Amino acid sequence: MRAVLRAQFHDAQCGFKALRRDTALELLPEVTDDGWFFDTELLLVAQRRGLRIEEVPVHWVDDPDSSVRILPTAIADLRGVVRMRRAARSASRSAP
């Protein structure tokens, strides 16, 4: 994420997200992913808008009964990366 999308944050999917209601109402209409990539897209949209992103460590206890389907999740994430990269290129071309 940091190299391809120039993300300035380290981990989009760990931890929790907190934002003000007015900020959420502004950003959420621009987020199209409703899966695993949602967190990353939300943070990228916030970053591109120049909003401050704070990363605060939390103590996490893993749930041994939870699972992730690795291959479908990775493919969906890569599609999200490609989509966000195209959007960034398009925005940079249309900027004055």
Active site residue 39: yes
Question: What value, to the nearest 5°, has the Cα angle with vertex 89 and ends 86 and 93?
Answer: 140
Q: Which residues contact 9 (CB under 8 A, 6 or more apart)?
A: 1, 43, 47, 53, 55
Q: Which of 22, 39, 65, 77 is catalytic?
A: 39
The pLDDT assigned to 49 comes to 93
CA-based nearest residue to 11, from 70, 53, 73, 45: 53
CA-based nearest residue to 92, from 37, 38, 48: 48
Domain that holds residue 5: 1-59+67-96
The pLDDT assigned to 30 comes to 93
| Residue matched to tokens 């690795």 | 70
The pLDDT assigned to 88 comes to 81
- Please count the structural domains in the chain: 1
The pLDDT assigned to 24 comes to 95
Would you say the pTM of this structure is higher than 0.85? no
Could you read off the pLDDT tens digit of each residue along the chain, which spans 96 residues? Answer: 777 778 888 877 777 888 999 999 999 999 998 888 899 999 999 999 999 999 888 887 888 888 778 898 889 888 988 888 888 888 777 766
Q: 49 is written with which tokens?
A: 């808008």
The pLDDT assigned to 87 comes to 84
The pLDDT assigned to 45 comes to 93
Burial class (CB in 10 A: 0-12, 13-18, 19+), 41: buried
